[in-house]
Structure 1
Amino acid sequence: MKSLCLVTVGVLAMTLLIASISLLVAHVFQTVVDLQVKQGTVLKNGTETFEAWEDPPPPVYMQFYFFNVTNPLEVLQGATPLVEEIGPYTYR
C-alpha cells in the first residue's frame, strides 16, 4: 500500500512538473512572438516595413472565370454539356 502511494505521488508530481514547464514555455514563446511583431511593424526610416509602406509592391490582380452550362435539362438526360465561358472577373 505504501509503495502504491509513492508511485501515485510520483506520477502526480511528474504530471504537474510537465504541465508547469509546458505553460512556462508557452508563455515565453508568446512573449517572444509579440515582441518580434511589435519590432517588425514599426514605421521607422530604414526598416523593411517602412520601405514596403513607402514604395508598395505592384498590385495583385486575381481573375476568375466561370462556365455556364447552357443545356442543363439535356445534360440530366445524358447529353454532352454545352458550356459558355463567363469572365474574366478581375479583383484587386
Structure 2
Amino acid sequence: MFFAWLGRILAILILIFALFKIAVALAIASDVLGPYDAALARYFPSAKSTGQVIDKGVYAVILSIALGILAEIRFTLRDKVMS
C-alpha cells in the first residue's frame, strides 16, 4: 500500500516538474526569457539546445504517466481483493 501511494505522489511530482521544464524550454526557444544562448546557459547549463531539454521533459512526462498507471492498477487490484 505504501508503494502505491508513493508511486502516485511521485508520478504527480514528476509530471509537474516535467511540464515546467518543457514550458521554460519553450520560453527560452521563443526568446521570452532573454537571448537564446544566455538564457539556455542560465537555466539549463548542461543542455546543448532547447530541443534536448524538451525531449527529456517529454520522456519524464511519459515516465510519470506510466508510473501513475501502475499505481492506479495497484489501487484497483486492492479494491477487487478487498471486496
- Please tell me the TM-score bracket, short chain as reference: 0.3 to 0.5
> Larger C-alpha radius of gyration, 1 or 2?
1
TM-score normalized with structure 2 length: 0.42
More strand by share: 1
The answer to which structure, 1 or 2, has the higher relative contact order (CA under 8 A, 6+ apart) is 2
